[in-house]
């Protein structure tokens, strides 16, 4: 255990260094007990929170928007389910939709195609004119969400690993990853990748988690930066990011 | 971007470029984040360690190509997947379709066909099927072949029965199939007005004018360039007041074609062409 509660003041003192990373995104993963945990976490994030917060909560594939509606009542930040190709905006909370994996596509990757604008191979004049039409081309400088229905990972779709790994791919060291209460080991690989890319990792203290399996698995597999009781995670984030109300 | 990322990106570009130039399969404008995952899944299952190694195998041995194609094209589907979509289709789209003497439907990216047969069942129950022709297309010959059989695993019928009733199904679901060993063989009358055909949304063009185009959870695998291409294709293939049905989390809002449609039921991503 690298950091514990009694070192919280060290965080305050080291915010200068952490801030150099200019964190750009917070990703959160949880399963069993997540509803209660997210309620606590989100309630403590101020309206001025400067980063997008992207959440995977394991849930049944036919569950509707009730999760969003419920969490919205607890938070001053706007909460929605992520849509395909939607741009990430600061201070917004996004939930992975039921029965889809949620990934983040970095703008450089969107530009990655060698023949991005060139559909002349298809030989159709109509198609060639796509970018000549007057329709505006959406801003490609911002990371966007991508969805997938491929096979579940760790029996889960959405999977925490899938989100975390793609966030690490897209944002490198500018990711803050958080694992909360949960009943399986999903998220451990993803958190390891965030750590390997130089991002910052938080895990809810297993002893006080509703279900310790997921946090314990993350701690066993990753040299986690911060292991904190649930109620301390949001305040620590706020400190790190030096948010003033 | 770190050096290893940069190298990985170059390797993937080369693999996709090679697949396109040598075999004609164009994945160059697929959404990269999830494509990368699927490519790495293949690399691991082939017991290889780099994208370049996979490229070598794929270019020199078509058996590797076949496996890679199956791995990187996602073929997850189910009968009456998202039952609420079918409810909305019954309530909001069927009344529009009743006004047409003949109805052409394009199911783009039909995979193994479960959702096409679901639509055929719905249209039969609404008394419209005799005036319909459903064009069900996919880029993958293997899945099309499966779709044409109309035979699905019997063990899935319990789940499908539940979804069928949630979707507003009017009969006993078992009336639609005959159980034979491990399989459920669907009534051949359902197939009568379905044309299964090969079509690649990344490279092929429009082939008819349609009253309805269904393309659910297919565009999520494309990057925004390719999505725009396909939306243009759909727009040009839909008659005026034609209906476009997308997946639950897909939206026209992030495309330049939003202004040509109005939502019929926005929670279900059912739109109608108005311009």
Of B1, B74, B229, the CB nearest to A119: B229
Q: Please, what CATH class does the domain formed by B83-273 belong to?
A: alpha beta
A186 catalytically annotated: yes
pLDDT tier, A109 (very low <50, low <70, confident <90, very high otherwise): low
Judged by a CB distance cut-off of 8 A, whether residue B36 touches chain A is: yes
Cβ pair B9:A109 closer than 8 A: yes
Question: What pairing do the DSSP bridges indicate for beta strands A200-204 and A175-179?
Answer: parallel
Instruction: Answer whether B34 sits within 8 Å of A83, measured CB to CB.
Output: no
**Candidate list A44, A58, A75, A159, residue with the active-site label:** A58
Token duo for residue A79: 């909460």
The token pair at A172 is 């490198």
Report the pLDDT averaged over residues A26-36: 95
Distance of CA A122 to the CA centre of its chain: 38
The segment(s) of chain B belonging to CATH 3.40.50.150 are 83-273
How do beta strands A200-204 and B183-186 pair? unpaired
CB-based burial, B237-252: b 16+ in 10 Å, e otherwise: bbeeebbbbbbbbbbb
**Which segment of A163-177, B70-84, B216-230 scores lowest on mean pLDDT?**
B70-84
Chain B: closest CA distance from residue A83 (Å): 5
Asked whether the beta carbons of A171 and A104 are under 8 A apart, the reply is: yes
Query: Of 3.40.50.180, 3.60.110.10, 1.10.3720.10, 3.60.15.10, which CATH number belongs to A5-110+140-240?
Result: 3.40.50.180
**pLDDT per position as a tens digit, B52-104:** 999 999 999 999 998 999 889 888 899 999 999 999 999 999 999 999 999 99
B223 touches A: beta carbon within 8 Å: yes
Counting residues of chain A whose pLDDT is more than 70, the rounded percentage is 76
CA–CA gap between residue B200 and residue A241 (Å, rounded): 47
Rg (CA), chain A: 19
Token duo for residue B145? 């072949």
Q: Point out the catalytic residue in the list A31, A75, A188, A217.
A: A31
Q: Report how far residue A149's alpha carbon sits from residue A98's, in angstroms, rounded to the nearest whole number.
A: 10
Interchain contact, A148 vs B221, CB within 8 Å: yes
For B231, name the nearest residue in chain A, comparing CA atoms only.
A130
Return the number of other C-beta atoms located less than 10 Å from residue A197's C-beta: 19
pLDDT in tens, A209-218: 999 999 999 9
Asked whether the beta carbons of residue B28 and residue A103 sit closer than 8 angstroms, the reply is no
Phi-psi region of B271 (alpha: psi -120 to 50; beta: other; left: phi over 0): beta
**pTM (2 d.p.):** 0.87
Closest among A190, A186, A191, A185 to A203, alpha carbons compared: A191
Angle of CA points B123, B269, B162, to nearest 5°: 50
Q: Within 10 Å of residue A231's Cβ, how many Cβ atoms?
A: 13
Q: Which of A52-56, A88-92, A125-129 has the lowest mean pLDDT?
A: A125-129
Tens digits of residue pLDDT in A129-154: 344 444 444 444 789 999 999 988 88
Question: What DSSP element (H or E) covers A193?
Answer: helix A188-196
Subunit contact A138:B217, Cβ cutoff 8 A: no
Q: Pick the closest to residue B215 from B197, B203, B231, B239 (CA basis).
A: B231
Cα A14 to its chain centre, rounded Å, is 23
Residues in chain A: 245
Q: Which pLDDT tens digit goes with each residue over B92-139?
A: 999 999 999 999 999 999 999 999 999 999 999 999 999 999 999 999
So what's the pLDDT on residue A4?
52
């Amino acid at each position: 255990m690298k950091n514990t509660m009694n070192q919280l003041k060290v965080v305050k003192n080291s915010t200068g260094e952490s801030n150099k990373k200019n964190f750009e995104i917070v990703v959160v993963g949880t399963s069993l007990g997540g509803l209660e945990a997210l309620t606590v976490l989100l309630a403590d994030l101020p309206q001025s929170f400067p980063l997008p917060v992207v959440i995977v909560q394991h849930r049944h594939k036919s569950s509707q928007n009730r999760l969003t509606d419920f969490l919205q009542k607890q938070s001053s930040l706007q909460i929605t389910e992520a849509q395909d190709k939607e741009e990430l905006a600061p201070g917004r909370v996004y939930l992975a939709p039921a029965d889809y994996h949620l990934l983040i596509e970095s703008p450089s990757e969107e530009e990655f195609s060698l023949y991005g604008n060139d559909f002349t191979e298809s030989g159709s004049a109509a198609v060639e004119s796509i970018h000549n039409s007057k329709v505006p081309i959406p801003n490609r400088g911002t990371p966007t969400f991508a969805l997938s229905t491929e096979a579940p990972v760790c029996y889960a779709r959405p999977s925490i690993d899938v989100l975390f790994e793609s966030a690490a791919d897209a944002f490198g060291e500018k990711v803050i990853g958080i694992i909360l209460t949960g009943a399986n080991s999903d998220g451990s690989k993803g958190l390891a990748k965030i750590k390997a890319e130089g991002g910052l990792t938080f895990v809810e203290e297993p002893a006080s988690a509703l279900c310790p399996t997921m946090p314990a698995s993350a701690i066993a597999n990753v040299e986690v930066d911060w292991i904190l009781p649930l109620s301390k995670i949001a305040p620590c984030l706020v400190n790190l990011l030096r948010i003033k109300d | 971007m770190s050096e290893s990322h940069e190298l990985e990106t170059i390797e993937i570009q080369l693999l996709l470029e090679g697949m396109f130039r040598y075999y004609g399969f164009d994945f160059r404008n697929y959404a990269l984040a999830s494509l990368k995952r699927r490519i790495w899944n293949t690399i691991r299952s082939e017991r290889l360690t780099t994208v370049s190694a996979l490229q070598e195998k794929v270019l020199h041995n078509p058996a590797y190509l076949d496996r890679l194609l199956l791995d990187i094209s996602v073929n997850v589907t189910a009968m009456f997947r998202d039952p609420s979509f079918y409810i909305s289709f019954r309530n909001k789209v069927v009344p529009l379709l009743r006004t047409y003497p003949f109805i052409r439907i394009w199911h783009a990216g039909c995979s193994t066909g479960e959702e096409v047969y679901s639509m055929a069942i719905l249209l039969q129950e609404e008394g419209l099927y005799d005036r319909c022709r459903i064009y069900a297309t996919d880029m993958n010959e293997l899945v099309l072949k499966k779709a044409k059989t109309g035979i699905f695993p019997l063990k899935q019928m319990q789940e499908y029965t539940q979804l069928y009733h949630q979707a507003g199904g009017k009969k006993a679901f078992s009336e639609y199939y005959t159980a034979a060993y491990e399989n459920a063989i669907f009534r051949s009358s359902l197939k009568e007005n379905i044309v299964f055909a090969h079509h690649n949304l990344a490279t092929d063009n429009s082939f008819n004018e349609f009253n309805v185009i269904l393309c659910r959870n297919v565009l999520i695998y494309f990057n925004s360039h390719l999505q725009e291409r396909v939306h243009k294709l759909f727009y040009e293939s839909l008659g005026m007041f034609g209906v476009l049905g997308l997946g639950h989390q897909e939206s026209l809002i992030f495309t330049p074609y939003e202004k040509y449609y109005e939502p019929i039921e926005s929670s279900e991503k059912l739109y109608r062409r108005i311009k």
